[in-house]
Structure 1
Amino acid sequence: MTPLPPTPSGTPGDQRPEQDHLVHAGQAPAYAAAGSGGAPHGQGSGPEGAGAWPPPPPPATPSYADGGSGGTTGVWGAAYQQPEPKPRSGRGGLVAGILVAALVAGGLGGGLGYTLAKNNENGSSTTVSASDSGGSVKRDPGTVAGVAAKALPSTVTIEAASSSGEGGTGTGFVFDTQGHIVTNNHVVASAVDGGKLTATFPSGKRYDAEVVGHAQGYDVAVLKLKNAPNDLKPLTLGNSDKVAVGDSTIAIGAPFGLSNTVTTGIISAKNRPVASSDGSGSNAASYMSALQTDASINPGNSGGPLLDAQGNVIGINSAIQSSSNGGLGGTSQSGSIGLGFAIPINQAKYVAQELIKTGKPVYAKIGASVSLEEGTGGAQITRQGASGTDPVESGGPAAKAGLKPGDVITKLDDRVIDSGPTLIGEIWTHQPGDKVTVTYERDGKTHTVELTLASRTGDS
């Protein structure tokens, strides 16, 4: 799977398909990810036992195949050429008779058509006109139009550019009345070090913004508007834990740079493990236990709100599934295929509040490095930690619970763990200090222990 990239500036859209991988719906180019289908090959240990892997090479930059001006290849209005007259034969009379009959029939048909049309003008019309249409219709709060009308004024299109001018377009939404905007980390990553950020509301009002804090592992960032207006209306945050498969969803974003776009769908699945790399070669990765939706989400939607039928935010749109050969004109570029992924708002709310408070993310951890290899039947604790460190942190939660290198974690509470990235995503849905039950296998036997999650501050 591939995280959702934002739409790069100056291009119709930026999507980074990587075989059957996830593509970020937002801004940062060259994202790649491993979803529920399994982690990438190779092994390693993530930040504080999270797990990381060398990201794949950046996919090719997409391009449009428009077939030329107007997108057409045919020719209209070719001149008609009169055929050469043929020699008369003994059947000439028959041919002439057929032609006369055809002309008479044609004239008769035309006459009937004209007469019927004339009579219809004089008769009563069966056309029914609506008494109200367009803006004069009152739309109830529970309708899609009602939800969109209320939520759109609190969403923004984010343009981020690095100091060299490279960047793209993503989405965000108003988090509080102080001017904080929540979005994806990968939407603003290019502007973190000396870049430029702007946020534009549907009304056309545009504000400069700055990054308050960003969490690469969670893929969440918080901006603050400069000279923020005093009439901001934060979107209401829902409860993503209570979302059910089949619930209606509404997504708002700027797919391919088309700001203020509204799409609808349902919750297709919950707790989908999604892991993504930024492709920078830094081995940095993002993990989430995502809400899956079939609402149309495309590059540029990243950071935008995923709403329920009442207009409450239940997630932050972050990634889409994209096939390697899909796209326009056979190119590598492709759009929504009905598999979008959002960060649950309960997790994103906690992260955003920490970023506003301290400027740094806080991660829950068990204090063990896990393998990212496929086929381990769970999350296997590695024999060696990252950079020569111990695979089980001395004095950490895993060590206190008696976990050892080679143990395979198969469940966290009631969640089945099928890989290292799945374990990391599930751990990060919790907060430091939470008690969790870990089920693991050792020498063919199953064991269960309870441990208290520790914390790590920052992405380094």
Structure 2
Amino acid sequence: MTASRIRAVSVPLAAALTAVALAAGCSSSDSGDSGRSTTRAAPAAAGDLQDDYQRVIKDVLPSVVQVDAGDSLGSGVVYDGKGHIVTNAHVVGKEKRFKVTTATGEQPLTAELVATYPEQDLAVIKLGDVPNGLKAAEFGDSTKAEVGQIVLAMGSPLGLSSSVTQGIVSAIGRTVSEGRSGGGTGATIANMVQTSAAINPGNSGGALVDLDGKVIGIPTLAASDPQMGDSAAPGIGFAIPSSMVKTVADQIVKDGKVTDSGRAALGITGRTVLDDDYRPAGVAVAETRKGGAAAGAGLRSGDIITKLGGTAISTINSLSEALAAAEPGQKKQVTYVRDGAEKTADVTLGEM
């Protein structure tokens, strides 16, 4: 499916559970041995893979928790030994206090919001009382993720805590815009990890783990196809890369907020405009922020942005996606229309 036909939707509540069975062997009748039943051992490679799955699940699952935010139910990952838990911003919503259930199934613990960062759909909450033996997950380097790599998704779909599904890394470097329906933040997120592991409502905020037992992403979105009535597209899920998770969570834990987003910005308020055939034709600048990148380059209210660098801009989402793929301080040429005439301006991108 092409990107234009697929939109990503947030998954704050629970839906379905995928069960995965790995065959370690089978029993059969050997016609050449007087009908005696024999058991054939599984191939060594299959047995080794099953051992890897079970080892990773045993090691990582205690670090994945269920987060109850009142109207929303999701997952979280224990970030450190001090009780910090990283999850999705759309899981916490506007709540400040939460009930957290660990993988051991003990009584729910109380947690409070440290900070939320909707621009990247991430949040950090903190347990009031840290139970003995609480284990922090180990976060890996998502920049080393490879297509075809086996991964496990751990979380609480349908409120079924400690659930695990498996799949592969299907693609890397995806830029995905999240809808606002169903509690979504509307964020545009770059460098997401696409996976075939089932990502169902309730998995949000959980862990996407490699076979080294390291978290390489936070499952956040599932794809849907508007041509199929916005029904979920099976096997197309997206996880926020661990590199971004660590960048945001480290700042929240240290400073109580994100102080350096690493996200490029033009410093405008804009809206999608349509041409005479009612097709998206660009982004109209409604307002420029004083001291922002656009204002510094001479753009003003009423200008219609049609291109950023070599990327055509037709909607506010396409502009967000182009900016998500850029970096603060980068110089870009902006093409825009003013009073019916096409113009260009060199812009040094600011920071969100």
1:268 aligned onto 2:164? no
* Aligned mates of 1:186, 1:304 — CA distance in 2: 13
Q: Match of 2:171, as an amino acid?
A: S
Deviation track 1:3-55 (CA, whole Å, cap 9, x = no partner) reads xxxxxxxxxxxxxxxx975432224x9xxxxxxxxxxxxxxxxxxxxxxxxxx
| CA apart distance, 1:239 | 3.0
- Equivalent positions of 1:330-341 (< 5 A) are 337-341=234-238
Mapped to 1, the partners of 2:217 and 2:312 lie a distance apart of 22
Corresponding residue number in structure 2 for 1:108: none
Is 1:170–2:74 an aligned residue pair?
yes
Compared with structure 1, are the counterparts of its residues 366 and 230 closer, same or farther at alpha carbon in structure 2 (3 Å cutoff)? Answer: farther
Check whether the contact 1:26–1:186 (CA below 8 A) recurs between aligned residues: yes
Alignment partners' CA distance in 2, 1:216 and 1:278? 14
| 1:320 and 2:217 correspond | no
Query: Do the aligned partners of 2:145 and 2:172 also contact (CA within 8 Å) in 1?
Result: no
1:127 and 2:33 aligned: no
SS at match of 1:348: helix
AA aligned opposite 1:253? G
One-letter identity of the residue aligned with 1:285: G
Deviation readout 1:295-342 (Å, 9 max, x if unpaired): 11111111111223433322211121235797xxxxx99666112122
Q: Matches of residues 268-417 of structure 1 in structure 2 within 5 Å?
A: 268-278=171-181, 285-289=186-190, 290-322=192-224, 337-362=234-259, 363=261, 364=263, 365-373=265-273, 375-376=279-280, 380-382=283-285, 384=286, 391-404=287-300, 405-408=302-305, 410-411=307-308
Identity of aligned residues (%): 29
Residues 1:439 and 1:252: Cα distance change in structure 2 (over 3 Å): farther
**Could you say what the CA RMSD is over the residues aligned between the two structures, in angstroms?**
3.9
Using the TM superposition, give the Cα deviation of residue 426 of structure 1 relative to its aligned residue in structure 2, in angstroms.
Answer: 5.3
Residue number in structure 1 paired with 2:120:
218
Whether contact under 8 Å (1:303, 1:317) holds in the other structure is yes
Matching of residues 172-187 of structure 1 within 5 Å: 172-187=76-91
1:130 Cα deviation from its structure 2 partner: 4.9
Whether the 8 Å CA contact 2:334–2:347 is kept in 1: the answer is no
TM-score by length of 1: 0.58
CA distance in 1, matches of 2:103, 2:36: 42
Match of 1:3 in 2: none
Distance change >3 Å, CA 428–CA 226, structure 1 → 2: farther
- Relative to structure 1, the CA distance from residue 333 to residue 284 in structure 2 (aligned partners, 3 Å threshold; closer, same or farther) is closer
Deviation at 1:230, TM superposition (A): 4.9
Runs (5+) with no aligned partner, structure 2: 17-28
Distance 2:146 2:308 in 1: 22
Q: Quick one: higher RCO (CA 8 Å, sep 6+), 1 or 2?
A: 1
Give, in angstroms, the shift of residue 371 of structure 1: 2.4
Name the SS of the counterpart of 1:191 in structure 2.
Answer: coil
Q: Classify the secondary structure of the residue corresponding to 2:178.
A: strand
3-state DSSP of counterpart to 1:285: coil
| In 2, Cα distance between equivalents of 1:124 and 1:314 | 50
- Quick check: 1:438 aligned with 2:339? no
Partner SS state of residue 272, structure 2: coil
- Tell me the amino acid that sits aligned with residue 89 of structure 2: N
Larger mean CA deviation between 402-411 and 176-185 belongs to 402-411
1:440 shift after superposition: 2.4
Is 1:419 aligned to 2:315, yes or no? yes
Match of 1:453 in 2: 350
Task: State TM-score, norm by structure 2.
Answer: 0.74
Structure 2 CA distance, aligned partners of 1:437 and 1:174?
A: 38
The CA deviation at 1:355 is 2.5
State the partner residue of 2:158.
Answer: 256
Q: Which has the higher strand share?
A: 2
Q: Residue 72 of structure 2: SS of its match in structure 1? A: strand
For 1:158 and 1:232, locate their aligned partners in 2 and report how far apart those are by CA, in whole Å: 15
Equivalent residue letter for 2:188: Y
Q: Which amino acid in the other structure matches residue 11 of structure 2?
A: A
Structure 1 residues 232 and 426: CA distance shift in structure 2, 3 A:
farther
Aligned CA distance change for structure 1 residues 360 and 156 (closer, same or farther; 3 Å): same
Structure 1 regions of 5+ residues with no counterpart?
1-18, 30-61, 64-116, 132-136, 162-166, 327-331, 385-390, 456-460
**1 CA distance for matches of 2:142 and 2:343?**
32
User: Alpha carbons of 1:258 and 1:216: their partners in 2 closer, same or farther (altered >3 Å)?
Assistant: same
Cα distance in 2 between the residues matched to 1:308 and 1:299: 21
The 3-state SS of whatever aligns with 2:36 is coil
Instruction: Please name the residue that 1:152 is paired with.
Output: 61
For residues 409 and 308 of structure 1, what CA distance do their matches in structure 2 show? 41
